[in-house]
Amino acid sequence: MEVIILGTSSAAPTMRRWLSGTAILRDGEVLLFDCGEGTQFRFMKAELPRRKFGKIFITHLHGDHIFGLPGFIATMNLGQRDIPLTVYGPKGIRRYLDFILSFPRPTRLGFELNVEELPPTFEGVVCEENDYVVTAAPLDHTIPALGYRFQEKDLLGRFDGERADALGVPFGPERGALQRGESITLHDGTVIQPSDLVGPPRKGKSVAYITDTGFCVAAKRLAADVDLIIHEATYGDDELEMALDRKHSTIRHAATIARSAGAKKFVATHFSTRYEGSALAQLEAEGRQVFPDLIMAHDLIRIDV
């Protein structure tokens, strides 16, 4: 599983940083979190597969997180997309898309577009597939905002092929049955239990995506024991008052959430345009005081989970 940060700028793009958009690439499937202006260009630049791309999760309705949606949807339509697309987000996302797609005249989509609106205080499962689940929780921003957690379901234990050979387990459906937790009987009457050959279940990988928000306990809950947390770090200590007023996080806030949640990796992103060069280096230094191994995101960075 891999995470690709498509844009790292807060509020407005810069010559070096585009707006919010983060992709999770897993077994060829792409899940997109936020879709700021220009996200489709970064999506193509990252060479992400568009055929197995069917879900977009929007945190909130500020422009730097949603203005890329109309263009992205229009491009998919022009590309003769024929598989469904589902957009999840706070209440109001349906009205926004309905208006955009009806102006100046209704756009006729060649694919099914589903919009799932979530209440401002929603906390729980957003969507669930056979092998993963996405949950959400309300954050603390100037408008309703959601954080998300992608969680793989536990994986099957490792199969001991060498021991299976020694016990005479043939290749074929018998080995598949054992991996599914079913016992089998060999031709000589020997009963093989799954525990004889299959190790304990392996915990699935997880990613928390948290932006925009002030310092809040919901972020910590979403990121509990997560493999990777992506957390906004809009300001440094020099702009603490502005962060509190605008309900954003400083990098110290973000690092504190990552550390207290027990996250294995922490990626800081969503930097104010005022931080470039030495100012960005100072931002990084402040974060490392709390979470020494933090990763400072840059556009198109790829991170293994």
Please give the positions annotated as active site.
Answer: 64
Please tell me the distance from the alpha carbon of residue 50 to that of residue 76, in angstroms, as a whole number.
9
| Residue labelled with tokens 């093989």 | 192
3-state secondary structure of 104: coil
- Residue 148 Cα distances to 56, 58, 285, angstroms: 11, 9, 27
Backbone angles phi and psi of 72, in degrees to 5: -65, -45
The DSSP annotation for 161-187 comes to HHHHHHHTPPSSHHHHHHHTT--EE-T
Q: Are 211 and 230 in contact (CB under 8 A)?
A: yes
CA proximity to 169, closest of 142, 193, 135: 193
- Residue 109 Cα distances to 57, 84, 102, 163, angstroms: 20, 10, 11, 54
At a CB cut-off of 8 Å and minimum separation 6, what does 238 contact? none
